[in-house]
Structure 1
Amino acid sequence: MPYLGQGRALSVTAAQNQSFQVSTPFLNLASTSFTIEAWIYSTIVTGDNGVMGQCQCTSCSNQCFFFLIRSSKLYVGFTLNDINGLTTMTVNTWYHVAFVYNSVTKQQILYLNGVQDNIKSSSSAYQGTNGTFTIGSAKYYPSTTFFNGYIDNVKIETLAKSATEILTAASLIAYYSFDSPNPTYDNGPNGLNGSSINAGIVTGRVNQGIQFTGSSSYFQAYGFYQAGYGVNSNKPFSISMWISTSSYSSCAFVQMSTAYNGGSCFNMLGIWSYTGNAAQLVAQGYAWPAIYGPSITLNTWTHVSWTFSLTNGYRLYVNGVYFGTTGYYSYSGTSGVINWLQIGYSFTCSGNYISNAAFQGIIDEIYVHNREITATEVYTFANP
């Protein structure tokens, strides 16, 4: 059960003392800056639950690194030199967790879902010079504590990542630039590489883009846990891109589906044309709240961002400027599975406002986030 649709996650059970161990090569984190990140899904958050660790001496100051969930909050340290998280965590929920030690500023920093959860200054460096690195368990003073649940995408780097880098790792689901030499690859942190069907790579808004020419021309990628029609209801998301249409025809250019060949699906972004001589953007949320956007011009680049949060509902931005909102909106229906993303059109979906027809034109610079991006971020995407 990975956080993402691609690959697998580590499944561990505390009652069976399960963990993954890295003894060779030795992961040397002593006397240096480092960052550790992971996605975790815990079925127990009470008591002590060891996420990962490395220990030379359990009772010696700064010689035993531990990363725990303790009493529903993160707890990380080097033995007698530790930091507590401030946010209460819940069971059966995916979290992105990160710990940064900055040897220059002497700071320990905890992040939960890309947001700083606590910071400690005047912290001595970790001094452990031997010990197996464990994932799914951690030594805490004399005993070893184990994790119950899933751990995915563990990353260990000997540098102090910035808050912006941590937020990107936690919230950017995928980024498709459509640039050579691998135009269908995901350039974000998760490797959700896609495939193009009867679509070409041409000059785009930024470097190269992908061109669609008809009903059998589209781009498809898998692994979207939280993006408008995902596993859980009312979860925030954002999708942003550049489009340049070559036809004033009603069509869909973004849709989500439960299967590679359709299944249950819905159209998210499209173009509406009443006369065939003019067209406007239309954005549609799950259970059919919709916003009709401004008119668009043939063969002209337009930047579109469509965001959702339970507080603000759906919001549409065009060319970096806020256009409109549904206001507060809540939905309970979801697909219940990790989803497929289609760009350019692919399947006939149920839906009231966006036509089941193919997009003709070029699309570029697609960003998908698992949060509602800010107006400032939208403006930045629209002004590369």
Structure 2
Amino acid sequence: MTTTFVQTPSTADLVAARRPGHSLPRDLYCGQQAFKDDLEQIWYREWLFAGPSAAMPKTGSYITMQVGEYPVILTRGSDGRIRAFHNVCRHRGQRLCAKASGTGAKLVCPYHQWTYDLDGKLLYARDMGEGFDPSKYGLKSVHCIDLAGMVFICLAKVPPAINELAANVTRYVLPSGLADAKVAHVSRIVEKGNWKLVMENNRECYHCGGSHPSLCRTYSDDPLMTVMEGPNAASPEILDHWARCDAANLPSRFVNAPDMQWRMARVPLMDNQESFTMSGKAAVRQRMGTIPWNDAGSLMFYHFPSSWNHFLPDHAIVFRILPISPTETEVTTHWLVHKDAVEGQDYDLQKLIEVWMNTNDEDRQVVEENQAGILSPAYEPGPYSPTQEAGVIHLIDWYCGVMSARLGALQAAE
């Protein structure tokens, strides 16, 4: 009797087999090898949104994040600078900080109390003997940059160029005054879906009318309100909004990376409403930064693979996703308000967060049902709507382009 072995297609094969304008083959959404390749070729090599600088408001404030196999800690030093390090003690590898956030004058390993300064320098290591050189055992740094209050990290030894993104984020986000903001609320949820499904779901509003009753009070699910092709190519309503913003020197017109890895544009809310609230009115009395009107709409900014964001006149909402497993993704949301805004006086927290708390949970349910269907052997890739799902096409084209190039380079080198 002869046994026939069927070779499982590689990630490169699956990417190459993808039909343009269609969703991905099944294993790219749930396969262990594809997940490993995603981590190594994208998550360990691209700039990732880590969080708002407002989450580290003072010397010693820190946040942590888990990027695949890499635990990372970010902290604000006594010089005000935010730095990132591998969250691993140089003694025997203990994770330095287990909490999602906190504050400490120093970074102290809980195992044997090796103590590091906020710039990563080893300050104290008890009983290490003669000849021990603490200068050789500082924390390993991670590339880190603060762009107008949005902090990005990159795990690669040599990170990709960030100049164009940095210039545009700084110019567009600066009027929102993130450096003068504070965190009003943080939400962390785990969605039982692949990270690409989480991002796909965000990149279209084809599902909004049927899934997001709270959001659709103020945010239009008409694709003409979010699909644009350039700084002078959009619906008349958006073009009028941009002209108004131009007159106030408020950067708003569509700008994007050539491969659509990121894009920014400010769009009006429906019927000149002011904010993502159930009433459509501003949730916070004090406006953010230098935005001149309550009805300036939302500056929308996404960056593959890890973030989408909304900057409104009264508050900002920034989102970070991190892959946990082939079918699990962590979504962290920060609501930011002016640093002088007082809860209970200048804003009601429930009114501030309820629309996106509802929306996040609704998206979780959508993604989890999407993943459950894809796990079926009966799943096969279906076509995207070129009008309703143009943003999803951008994501999948970017993903396949990056993976094809990088996996192809690996194969060529073997």
Q: TM-score category by the smaller chain?
A: under 0.3
State TM-score, norm by structure 2. Answer: 0.21
Q: Which has the higher helix share?
A: 2
Q: Which has the higher strand share?
A: 1
